[in-house]
Structure 1
Amino acid sequence: MAVVVPEPADAVPLVSLEAPGTEIAVVCLRAGGKEGRAALDRALAQAAERGCRVLGGPAVLRAESGDPVTALLDELRGINPERLHTLDPDPAHVSFDEASGTPGYDEPAGRAEAAADALAAARALQLETGEPVYVDCYRAKADVRLGAASCLRHPAPVNWLVAGFDGRLTAFLPTAAGVVRWFQDVPGSGAWRGPELIEGPGLLPGLTVVRDPHGFPHLFGLRRTPRGDGGVDVEVVHAAQYRTGRPLTPWNSLGGPNAGDWRKGREAGFPAAAFDAAGNLFVFVRNFGHSISYRCQSVDGTWSPWQHLGGTRVADDLVAVTAPHGGVEVCARARDTAAVVRWYQDRGGAWTEDRTPPFAVRPGTMAPAPEPGSIHFRDLRTNAPSAWRPGAQNPCPLGDVGGSGPLATARGVEMDGWTYSLLVGSGPGAACALGAYHEGRPGAGVWWQDLGAPSYGVPAAAVSRTGQLTVATRAPGRRLLVAHRGEQGSGLTLGDWRSAGG
């Protein structure tokens, strides 16, 4: 894993987030000051004590190296990282000068520029080698005590393993050069193809995958494009897969809620999306003013303009779900208080803000639950996984399991004559954990088990049209590991983990 930052001091929080067993190489664009170098030395020594392998001291680019992207690429060739961690290329503003129309920031501009250079160098390395490079960008001043998932600028993807209409599974993951996918050759088989790069120049880390009412997967992300005047355009993009293994639709730009001013538009939050029961698609984004904007694509393919929900200011965490009545709702973590806010539509289509959800969430952990209208999250104080549905007086605990980050889900698993919903997440020690409960009844108890495989990020699960359960995880060595539930027996036992594709 490579950490790429402007100066040594900037690497300290990123190094502190690394789990035991990680190989860490630090690359700095500048030498920085004596105190910053000493702080990084201490952070690297502490990482080694907890079981990380530190690959020498930090590398510093030469002042005469010229183009920083070229110089970074030279360094990355020697490291050949499968993961790269850097800072936020598009940080949030803390003030705004109305007279000049200029946002103000409380961190040096060089940090954002260095992050953009790191993204460009990682893309170039992946295109040069053909091997995936997974990138995470970390928000400035994030509380590292809450864990890596809570510090990400672009959220970790969940539910990225999907069953196609023909019964074959596809896995989608974001990388430095775009989204890569793996797919099954034959339904239910252990033969996979991939990783295959889906073209998408300028895609930022992060990915939202949502299935439409027909079961087709739709992908949403952010695309960052340099402008000729020195600025950048950040826009929401959307693509869909209608046939497993065949090309996706082109990435369609949805623009952004602040597209008229690139300085505002670059701060767009990561999109959340959901379909209503009629097939209308809603896409939600946190805008420059820290409220929510959305666009809707009707079933005839027509897109509405960006519209503004207003109300409570929110952070980057959004989750959109299909409600029991068939409409769409969106929940967001409040920006200025430890609260969650919900917006829902009445029968006439008007939006109502609900500030009464009785819980606070750990950043980066909200995700859709299998039950319509419900969400999963980790409690801000305890980190315990929980579920909540609108109208419930309290959240529902999801069992005694550690770990971090959001939970992915699958439903419709038959066992012992009952139908179960499944939860998969990164459990204690970053190992895959699998939980099960009677479908629609999380309060009846969740049974967890360790699946014995490591996980970078959030593992995923899917149930094919024939009822076969598959769990997938991104593992060290650029491998996608998959395990299938055996056809025989009544228990929830998975077969051996195997690498998918190349």
Structure 2
Amino acid sequence: MSLRIGRRRTGVSSRRGPAPSHEALTAPELPAVAPPNTGWLIPAPDGRLTAYAPAVAGGIVRWTESPTGRGGWTAPELLLPDNRLLPYLCVARGPAGYADVVALRRTADGPEAPLEVVHATQYQAGRPLTGWHPVGNPHVKNVRMAASIGAPVAVVDGADALHVFIRNASGGVSTRVRDPRGTWGNWASFPCKRVHEGLSAVVTRSGRVELFAPADGGVYVWRQETPGGPLDRAPDLVLCARPGTASGIETHEGRITHYWREEESGEVVAHRPSEDGAAAPAPAPLGGHSGDGPLALGRCLVDDHDCTVLAQRERTGTLAIAAHPTETESAGAWWTETHQSCEGAPAVAPDRDGRLVVAAVDGDGRLNVTRQRTDRQGLALEGWIRL
């Protein structure tokens, strides 16, 4: 097939042009902290996209796509300000379309104060969030350990249960689940040790959760057999992932492909579990040595072919994009520099028309977005809009 992607030709192009004259683009600046994790660009049930980032002053900065969906965005909004919040958040969207925002907050002033996981819910695009509600900490009886937990990862399964995972202070993984009725269970721990920071959790279209936890000398994996059920331990992977670089995406019905950076070289690799008891394949190398942090992942049609798109922050502070035919990593992925400023991790998501949208927070704390063009061959992008 003649895709304009892969090792020989990239087909990824972008251009910087003047921002469209939408009123939302003239709003006052509200600087954000660049998210260190992907997954902060979320589609709502009505098709609008919403971007979330930590606020410099504590709280959430939110940008919402206009109801017309024609490139306009609302002015940035400061939500739920709290100067004890750490500059981190993750967003989980469930089958009902609600967005659950999960963050970390100090319970007192000072860098050694214990941490607690907190969460808030947005029920409709552009509408207010509930207040912060404490989820707690698995080390509530040990102040020193309670100050040393990792960043939370949250997903909502197909039964509308919210799962929160953290690397605990003992080097294991702790989880707490809110059931569909809104009741939180107790903190529970998975049997594991020496887990690194940077857990990755993915939900399949059928609503099953898969948790990927890099650790010393390998990776722990847990999978849900049915939405709403427990996560069962899957075979460990004897692979080494650089901390804080894992992410995943469903690439076939019920099948997750995990991406991370090889521990020594920093090269991006992709891996899927074996099927029918076959020997696990070796991770597929995809280049990207010049980047850092986790990969933002998305799928879209490129020249009528299903492709997986990867976006990363370069160590130079700019954004690079690559693509390959989905589950055909052997075609290669040639990385294309966009020259767009990118701090922290980028994010990607489909818009209401199925076009891929790429978002990055620049060095001034401003949101920048671009959208896939479908009137050109290959993976071409519109001009960047700075919000």
The residue aligned with 1:183 is 64
What is the Cα-based RMSD across aligned positions, in Å? 2.8
Matches within 5 A, 1:13-412: 131-132=30-31, 134=33, 156-176=36-56, 177-201=58-82, 202-226=84-108, 232-322=113-203, 326-334=207-215, 337-345=216-224, 352-354=232-234, 356-371=236-251, 372-391=255-274, 392-399=280-287, 402-411=290-299
CA distance in 2, matches of 1:271, 1:183: 24
Deviation at 1:487, TM superposition (A): 4.5
SS in 2 for 1:420: strand
Structure number with the higher helix fraction is 1
The residue aligned with 1:489 is 376
TM-score (norm. length: structure 2) = 0.81
Q: How many residue pairs were aligned? A: 349
Deviation at 1:349, TM superposition (A): 5.1
Deviation at 1:324, TM superposition (A): 8.2
Gaps of 5+ in 1: 1-128, 136-154
Inter-CA distance 467–373: structure 2 relative to 1 (3 Å threshold): closer
Alpha-carbon contact 1:332-1:341 (below 8 Å) kept? yes
Equivalent AA in structure 2 for residue 204 of structure 1: L
SS in 2 for 1:263: helix
CA distance in 2, matches of 1:261, 1:178: 27
CA deviations over 1:118-149 (Å, ceiling 9, x no partner): xxxxxxxxxxx9742638xxxxxxxxxxxxxx
Matches within 5 A, 1:434-473: 434-473=321-360
Deviation at 1:270, TM superposition (A): 0.9
Equivalent AA in structure 2 for residue 359 of structure 1: L
Equivalent AA in structure 2 for residue 394 of structure 1: A
Deviation at 1:158, TM superposition (A): 0.6
Equivalent AA in structure 2 for residue 375 of structure 1: H
Alpha-carbon contact 1:370-1:410 (below 8 Å) kept? no
Deviation at 1:298, TM superposition (A): 2.0
SS in 2 for 1:207: strand
Deviation at 1:226, TM superposition (A): 0.9
CA deviations over 1:41-91 (Å, ceiling 9, x no partner): xxxxxxxxxxxxxxxxxxxxxxxxxxxxxxxxxxxxxxxxxxxxxxxxxxx
CA distance in 2, matches of 1:407, 1:461: 10
Inter-CA distance 345–495: structure 2 relative to 1 (3 Å threshold): closer
Percent of pairs with identical residues: 36
Specify the structure having the higher radius of gyration (Cα).
1
Equivalent AA in structure 1 for residue 386 of structure 2: S
Equivalent AA in structure 1 for residue 273 of structure 2: P
CA distance in 1, matches of 2:230, 2:239: 25
Inter-CA distance 324–496: structure 2 relative to 1 (3 Å threshold): closer
Inter-CA distance 382–255: structure 2 relative to 1 (3 Å threshold): same
CA distance in 1, matches of 2:323, 2:363: 26
CA deviations over 1:347-399 (Å, ceiling 9, x no partner): 79565545631321112111223434332110001101112223333212224
CA distance in 2, matches of 1:244, 1:133: 20
Inter-CA distance 457–236: structure 2 relative to 1 (3 Å threshold): same
SS in 2 for 1:264: helix
Deviation at 1:445, TM superposition (A): 3.0
Alpha-carbon contact 1:294-1:307 (below 8 Å) kept? yes
CA distance in 2, matches of 1:255, 1:409: 30
CA deviations over 1:421-461 (Å, ceiling 9, x no partner): 21111136332111222234334433432223121111222
SS in 2 for 1:267: coil
CA distance in 2, matches of 1:422, 1:352: 29
The residue aligned with 1:419 is 306
Structure number with the higher strand fraction is 2
Inter-CA distance 238–195: structure 2 relative to 1 (3 Å threshold): same
Gaps of 5+ in 2: 1-27, 275-279
2:317 maps to 1:430: yes
SS in 1 for 2:85: coil
